[in-house]
Amino acid sequence: MDKKKLILDFIKRHKIGVISTVSPENRPEAAVIEFGETDNLELIFDAFENSRKVQNIKQNNQVAFVIGWDEDITVQYEGEAFELSGIELEKYKKIYLAKNPAVAKWEKVKGIKFFKVTPRWIRYSGLTREPWEVFEVKF
């Protein structure tokens, strides 16, 4: 079984996840967001520059995501978030908007920032069969 492919196939079926960041006061904060993904399991999202998550990422770019559950499957994801610019911005924005075309209305709004998250650790938990299928992938 190709664990990374199983994770990628699951992530591709979802558009919404929960991102967690850490405030400058070292408190956890979470938000539901739309996301896209690359074949390398990078996640892409956008946010307003004055949002808590963006302010938090500027101070500490370590983030966590949770994706799924409605299929009794979930992916826990930890990684580093980087604001996109230049050629990278155009490349990743195209991937993100292909998955989330309704988001295009925000693309040119002043204050929108786009981010890529590089994975460091992912746990896949599939509770649809016995024994449960639970494994971790480190990067």
Burial category of 35 from C-beta neighbours within 10 Å (exposed 0-12, middle 13-18, buried 19 and up):
buried
Percent of the chain residues topping a pLDDT of 70: 99
Is residue 108's pLDDT more than 90? no
Cα distance from N-terminal residue to C-terminal residue, the chain? 18
pLDDT above 90: residue 54:
yes
pLDDT tops 80 at residue 91: yes
CATH assignment of the domain containing 23: 2.30.110.10
Domain extent for 73: 3-138
Q: Is the pLDDT of residue 1 over 80?
A: no
Task: Report pLDDT for 71.
Answer: 87
- Residue 105, pLDDT score: 87
Tell me if 116 sits within 8 A of 131, measured CB to CB: no
